Structure 1
Amino acid sequence: MRLNHLDLHVPDVAATRDFLIEHFGLAEIEMRGADGLAILNDDAGLELVISRPVAKFGGADQVSTAVATYHIGFILPSRGEVDALYAQLVAADAAIWNAPRAMRGGWVFYCFAPGRILIEVGFRP
């Protein structure tokens, strides 16, 4: 069995989609409606769905709850690439939680995508 996709609920689908495309290299496969649902994928085939909160599932996102209840993670091939992405995000005025640092045997930092999606970026030798 293989994980097929993740669906993240956010109040502004387009803003989160644009952030993930620009800074994390995801590709848009499909956009439904002006701000309804975006389907993205990475170069390994994982689909990431960005959608508005669905009322029948509780209708919540991490902005409306004001907490980060989960995070997603990206791994890069080198410490230098982690530092370069961190610098790119700082220059873009992204919401940074912490600077890159040694953590759990790797080199890691955290930031927030629009929609209060916590993102871990790291390198592990």
Structure 2
Amino acid sequence: MDFEGACPVDARGLAPWGSEGYVPPEWLDPGADQLRCDLFALGVSCYQILVGSWSLGVASSRIAASPIGRRRRGLAPEIKQLISKMLHSDPDRRPSARTAADMMSAAAASL
């Protein structure tokens, strides 16, 4: 996993940064809104931490990862919901950073 390549969120035309498997499907579309790419990468990281693996390898237009609840039993519903939302293939259906932080706080409080 890498975090290099920091740039303004509205910067366009930059070389693609990020590790394979952590970049969202829309990264392949140069005209797409890139504002929620980091939420996808955070979702991948959370999935990987809780399950122990991430099987996509390369960003695709269709997210085919097994739902986290099938790979790791006993997770709080709030955690499963948050990770599923962060991994949504449609960036407009992913939570904002503020919403994700609030959902993480709620999930942590439920533990």
TM-score by length of 1: 0.28
- Normalising by structure 2, what TM-score? 0.31
Structure that is richer in strand per residue: 1
Indicate the structure with greater helix content.
Answer: 2
